[in-house]
Amino acid sequence: MAEGHGEGVVTAALLVIGDEILSGRTKDKNIGYIAEYLTAIGVDLREVRVVPDIEAEIVAAVNALRHRYDHLLTTGGIGPTHDDITADSVAKALGVSIDHDPRAVAILEERYGKADLNEARMRMARIPAGATLIANPVSKAPGFSIGNVHVMAGVPTIMQAMLDDLASRLPTGKKMLSRTIPAGMGEGRIAQGLREVQDAFPDVIIGSYPNFEPGRTGGFTTNIVCRSRDEARLIAAEAAVKALIDKLDGRPA
């Protein structure tokens, strides 16, 4: 059973598949994009994993995450080369068969022509039985959704286009709202008062994020971020944080 459900809460995990991320050769650009996107549409990203191009690792991660969250999104490993094993691994994880999908074959035939649709490119038409295709307006070879698992490309421009298609039919929840309050001081000065604000607003998630700017006195500034699905509570917590900062800065209430 998916966890973390309150009323109107929809959860997700992201599985990034690829040796190149773990070796550092490619710097992932998808985690931050997807995190921000899901937050904006009312889906809570609860966990991210990065695993290598090894079938057993992908299968284990897919099964750990798909049971635990409402949705599992994956990126990477759906191209035509021998190291693209995501579709087969997802089929294995779900215990379903996989073969050339006539809808995907038609899309690839249109793009490449029958003559150039070689065996390797046909690999991109391997889709698990029962899946829905995710459109790829950039380079055509589709992603797919099966159950609550949504398989997308790793190339950022393609992933972003696929995410737009997926999001149009993804059940979403009540949006998490947030307010960021900049504090011109290090965390050490605001921490005690902030804990008291958090205690007074247990239903608002209050986070504190230091920035290190060597040019400044002391070096640190802090952003306080309040998050809640209840706008009235969010505004009240924001006001309490601002009052705290004013007090610490010696400004009258």
Nearer to its own copies, 93 or 194 (CB): 194
Name which of 146 and 179 has its Cβ closer to its own copies: 179
Residue 85 CB, shortest distance to its own copies, in Å, is 12
Residue 74, CB-side half-sphere exposure with 13 Å CA sphere? 29
Give the count of alpha carbons within 13 A of 167, CB side only. Answer: 17
CB nearer its own copies, residue 62 or residue 146: 62
Closest distance of CB 155 from its own copies, Å: 5
Amino acid (1-letter code) at residue 181? I
Separation in Å, CA 248 to CA 72, 185, 192, 216: 43, 9, 11, 18
Provide, rounded to whole angstroms, the least separation between the CB of residue 152 and its own copies. 14
Least distance in Å: CB of 156 to its own copies? Answer: 9
Q: For the CB of residue 92, give the shortest distance to its own copies in the complex, in Å.
A: 19
Q: Which amino acid is present at 64?
A: A
For its own copies, the closer CB: 57 or 88: 57
What residues have CB less than 8 Å from 103, skipping those under 6 apart?
127, 133, 142
Of 240, 253, 72, nearest to 170 by C-alpha is 72
Q: Which lies closer to its own copies via its Cβ, residue 18 or residue 128?
A: 18
Closest residue by Cα to residue 90 from 75, 104, 110, 106 = 75
